[in-house]
Structure formats: structure tokens, C-alpha cells
Amino acid sequence: MLGSWERLREPDSIVIDNAGYILLFRDEPLELDRELEMNDHKVKIVGISDASVPFLSSPVIHTRYSEAVNFGITITIALVVGTVVAGQTFYLFTLLARVSFALGAIFRRRVHHRSVFSSAKILK
């Protein structure tokens, strides 16, 4: 391991596994105190661990529980806001579709009404 676990007490600090570091920083030497951005939250790499290679190709990141909770709260708020925005967008879309459908029906009725009168004039 490069670095130390005690440095996890620093604010916004993480320890990342070796494979994850290579995945994120290709062809660069292993270096501590690099900054990494995860969902608009900057963290500092204070250690590189020798964790076993994961089944999936995602990095293994170690942090303090309090940091993970703060990160989880940020993600939860983002999901709630995203859901509200998507819901409101869908709602406005349905309102617009109803208005467009109603205007289309009125326009079709007027066109049909005029064609009936114009054919009646032709018959006279």
C-alpha cells in the first residue's frame, strides 16, 4: 500500500485500489494527493491499496463512513431533484399535447364545417 490509512481522517480523503487508479489515470505514475471529482464532489487520494481486482471494472474506494454518508446524501438529493424535474417536464408535455389535440379538433371541425357549406352552395 502507498500512503497510510490514518490519512483518511483528513476531510474529503479516499484510498483507492491500484487497479482503479490505473483505470482512472492511465499511463501515469502512482501519486498521492491527486484530486478526483465524483459527482461534483472533489476528493483527495491519500492512499493506494492492494485490494483484489474487482469482478467489474469499477474502482474500489475506501473512505470514512461520515464521508460516504455525505456523498450518499448528495446523490439522494440529486435523484429527488432529477425525478421532480422529469415529472414536471412530462406533466407540461401532457398539458401541451392536450391543448394541441383540442386545437387540432377545433381546426378540423371548422374545415369540415366550411366544406359542407361550400358543397351545399355548389348543389344549389
pLDDT, position 50:
86
Is the pLDDT assigned to residue 110 strictly greater than 60? Answer: yes
Taking only Cα atoms into account, the Rg of the chain, rounded to an integer number of angstroms, comes to 30
Q: Cβ neighbours of residue 22 under 8 Å, at least 6 residues apart?
A: none
Domain limits, the chain? 1-63, 65-124
Q: What does the alpha-carbon distance between residue 113 and residue 116 come to, in Å, rounded to a whole number?
A: 5
Answer yes or no: are the C-beta atoms of 63 and 36 closer than 8 Å: no
pLDDT, position 121:
53
What pTM value is reported for the model? Answer: 0.54
Is the pLDDT assigned to residue 12 strictly greater than 80? Answer: yes
Is the pLDDT assigned to residue 7 strictly greater than 80? Answer: yes
Is the pLDDT assigned to residue 113 strictly greater than 70? Answer: no
pLDDT tens readout for residues 20-53: 898 889 999 999 999 988 877 889 999 999 877 6
How is the chain split among helix, strand and coil, in percent rounded to 5?
Answer: 55, 20, 25
Percent of the chain exceeding pLDDT 90 equals 28
| DSSP assignment letter at 55 | S
Is the pLDDT assigned to residue 104 strictly greater than 60? Answer: yes
59 CB neighbour count, 10 Å cutoff: 18
Is the pLDDT assigned to residue 78 strictly greater than 70? Answer: yes
Is the pLDDT assigned to residue 122 strictly greater than 60? Answer: no
Is the pLDDT assigned to residue 60 strictly greater than 80? Answer: yes
